[in-house]
A and B are shown apart, each in its own frame.
Chain A
Amino acid sequence: MTETVSAQKVSREALFRPEEQAGWRLRELHGLERLIGAEWYRVLRGLFTNILSVAGLIIVTSFILAAAFAPVLAPPLRVAADPYLIPRDGFGPEPKPPGTVWTRGVPPIPFWYKAVTGKDEWVHLMGTASGQFDIYYGVVWGSRTALFAGLVITSATVAIGLIIGSLAAFYGSWLDDLLMRITEIFMAFPFLLAALTLSAILVPKFGRSIWPPTIALIIFGWTRYARVIRGEILSAKERDYVLAGRVVGVRDARLIIRHILPNTIYPILVLASFNVGDAVVTFSALSFLGVGTQIGYADWGQIISFARDWIMSLDTHWYIIVFPGLSLIVFGLGWNLIGDALRDILDPRMRSTRG
């Protein structure tokens, strides 16, 4: 006895929605997940459920808020041209402890001060450094400098590294060799030393400002990204979706930007979030060594460099180091926590793409 299996009538629409015909469905996406895609939703969920990464996000957000509201938290001198120059309470060399009353060149008192403390006189909330620079002002406006330096340096290094790495990986052969030789030459320098050198060379050109260390850190910082993205693209090049794209006739640039990069960008994200913290720390180190911002600029490293003259009496002048130092540490910590959490989220994925 033969059994005939009646062929199901397959409509044209059914060809494009196989899951409905087969009697099962793919998981439906709702709300945010549907908006940004399942991949990014997974990343966001990982970031917001891990307690350490939430702490990191809170820290970074606080710094962004402090930077945004800097004129409110620490109002600049009314007649000052540049709010990044710290106001000075006279010119005395002896640093004053926190709580000293502000006597000369007093900037406008913030509106919240009377409400919070009930006092009329503006005091140095964190003390002063040599030359009577207000440390509190420096720390608050220094967060702007730090965010600027961190974000500019990281974006520039990532952009340069991405371009060079993807060109090298995608086109291969002599271009790859040439670009990788150049990368090796830049990587042959000990990083801090090279940045110090270039910064010192650029100071006669730009004067002591934020630009010598920023440019120096960008020029020696892109190599890491170039290598990583090159490795990722080299392994992605052999994948089916790339071959399919080529067969269909997608142009090279479009293939790289719209197809390969979104799949290979994840290690770059991890490195970039670590890099923001590292860039700010190295930037401060260069300012501390004297080849960065000028004296009196609102930059954490620059304020700490005042402590170099007072090493013998650091226990009385502890506030010169502790307040800006704490800001630096917490800033770096926030970005490191985020980077760590990102790496934990993306690690199994990275392991699978490497297989």
Chain B
Amino acid sequence: MTAFIIRRLLQLPITVFGVTVLIFGMTMVLSPIERSALYVRDFPHTEGALEGIIRRYGLDDPFHVQYWRWLVGRTDPETGGKVGGVLRGDLGFSRTGRQPVIDHILHRLPASLELALWSVVPIIGIGIWLGIIAAINHNRLIDQVARVFSIIGWSFPTFVFALLVLMIFYAKLHLLPPGRLSDWATQVAMSPEFHRYTQLNTIDALLNLRLDIFWDALRHLILPIITLCYIQWAMLLRLTRSSMLEALRQDYMTTARAKGLAERTVINRHALPNALIPVVTVGGITIVNLVNGAVITETIFNYPGVGRAVAMAAQTLDVLTVLGFVLLSSVLFIVANLLIDVMYAFLDPRVRLG
């Protein structure tokens, strides 16, 4: 077990290094002139200014020189000290956010975190539960309905679902609005009496004992959560169902029933733990995949999170913001996959010993 973990940990820096090279390589697809646009706030007015920018930032140096400079920074000619570089947290300046990329992302992170936190339990809880119900009632009506739901849910693109749901519940019924907080709630949240502990609206509202703000924040969250959820439900349902069906077919189930155990005990104590092993790993990826879905969801619901910032940056070709976010989320992805693999090895001895 330890050898497995150590082996995976040793591979980690190589993968991260490869990821940084690939991300940097993506910028090098553009020519030096195009790349100079990433480093300035206004367009250069003269040819000479453009040359100056290229020379100053070394935009036509060889690949490995530029990569190294991007990674560890350069020596500032005036002060002589080391400045910049990804390892020092300098991901560039965001044109859309009008602040450094890292600040731009951190500023919007709490909103996305709130959305993700409120989505995790419904996704995993309801998704797995639906799969179990479908597997237990194999080939009966509930199973057929669940399978149809799974196939349709998988085919439904996120942005179409989000727009349809917005059309029904906001444009038609005026029940669930987009955005993060209503205007009156924003006023209250900005005021000095409202103490900020976590930057998450729902938690802060509860801690400040303002239930009306809590409900308002939750009302704005419902539609984005459902949009993020349904596609994960479709996938989790199918996976849990097939995994559970596989487990229910095994010989140890017959043994358990022959021992005279109640059906409920048989399922909960014998079938379920074995069925949930592959589901657990996919569940982990689901949590990380909230990043993917969040880009489109936040854009459509005008939810001021990281996903919407990235989508707007991509639309206006603000490459540095997008790259900064991709770098951070890729590293997160790699670490999360490592944890999932370790958990999988912990749960299933066959993986460790195989």
Contacts and interface: CB of A to CB of B under 8 A. Distances in A.
Interface of A: 181-182, 184-186, 188-194, 196-205, 277, 281, 284-285, 288-291, 301, 304, 307-308, 311-315, 318, 321-322, 325, 328-330, 332-333, 336-337, 340
B154 A315 contact: no
B65 interface: no
Given A289-B296, A321-B167, A188 B160 contact: no
A284 B157 contact: yes
B166 A188 contact: no
Contacts of B292: 190-193
Interface stretch (B27-35, B212-220, B263-271): B27-35
A291 B314 contact: yes
Given A200-B319, A307-B163, A189 B330 contact: yes
Given A196-B310, A200-B317, 19 more contacts: A185-B19, A189-B333, A190-B330, A192-B295, A193-B295, A196-B314, A197-B323, A200-B313, A204-B30, A204-B317, A290-B314, A304-B159, A304-B163, A314-B166, A314-B167, A315-B171, A325-B157, A328-B160, A330-B155
Interface string B273-302: 000000000000000110111011001101
Contacts of B172: 314-315
Contacts of B315: 200, 289-291
A94 B6 CA distance: 62
A308 B319 contact: no
Contacts of B157: 281, 284-285, 325, 328-329, 332
Contacts of B325: 193
Contacts of A340: 151
A188 B337 CA distance: 9
A-B complex: 8 closest residue pairs judged by Cβ atoms:
A185-B18, A332-B155, A290-B315, A314-B167, A325-B160, A314-B171, A333-B155, A200-B314
Contact of B322 (A186, A200, A318): A200
A308 B26 contact: no
13 contacts: A188-B18, A190-B326, A192-B293, A192-B296, A194-B330, A200-B315, A200-B322, A307-B163, A308-B299, A308-B300, A315-B171, A325-B157, A329-B160
Contacts of B209: none
A189 B326 contact: yes
A321 B296 CA distance: 15
B313 to A, nearest CB: 8
Contacts of A186: 22
Interface residues of B, number: 54
A199 to B, nearest CB: 8
B198 interface: no
Contacts of A201: 26-27, 29-30, 319
Given A189-B19, A281-B157, A336-B154, A318 B299 contact: no
A251 B315 CA distance: 50
Nearest to A351: B246
A205 to B, nearest CB: 7
A58 B296 CA distance: 31
A289 B299 contact: yes
Nearest to A347: B242
Contacts of B337: 188
B317 A203 contact: yes
Interface in B166-222: 166-167, 170-172, 178
B164 interface: yes
Given A198-B26, A200-B319, A325-B160, A188 B19 contact: yes
Chain B CB within 10 Å — which of A199, A203, A204 has the most?
A204
B158 to A, nearest CB: 7
B29 A202 contact: yes
A54 to B, nearest CB: 15
Contacts of A336: 151, 154-155
B322 A196 contact: yes
A301 to B, nearest CB: 8
B54 to A, nearest CB: 16
A197 B18 contact: no
Contacts of A193: 291-292, 295, 310, 325-326, 329
Given A203-B317, A205-B29, A315-B171, A197 B322 contact: yes
Contacts of B29: 201-202, 205
B156 interface: yes
Contact of B34 (A190, A204, A333): A204
Contacts of B19: 185, 188-189
B304 to A, nearest CB: 15
Nearest to B315: A290
Contacts of A318: 167
B133 interface: no
A251 B244 CA distance: 44
A184 B163 contact: no
Contact of A185 (B22, B310, B311): B22
A332 B315 CA distance: 25
B113 interface: no
Interface in B1-47: 11, 14-15, 18-19, 22, 26-27, 29-30, 34
B20 to A, nearest CB: 10
Contacts of A322: 164
Chain A CB within 10 Å — which of B152, B171, B288, B300 has the most?
B171
B142 interface: no
Given A188-B330, A201-B319, A281-B157, A325 B15 contact: no
Interface string B42-58: 00000000000000000
B334 interface: yes
A330 B163 CA distance: 17
Chain B CB within 10 Å — which of A197, A307, A311 has the most?
A197
A181 B14 contact: yes
Contacts of A332: 154-157
B148 to A, nearest CB: 9
Contacts of A333: 151-152, 155
Given A196-B314, A285-B296, A290-B314, A277 B155 contact: yes
Nearest to B334: A188
A315 B18 contact: no
B30 A205 contact: yes
A329 B155 contact: yes
Contacts of B329: 190, 193
Contact of A188 (B30, B313, B333): B333
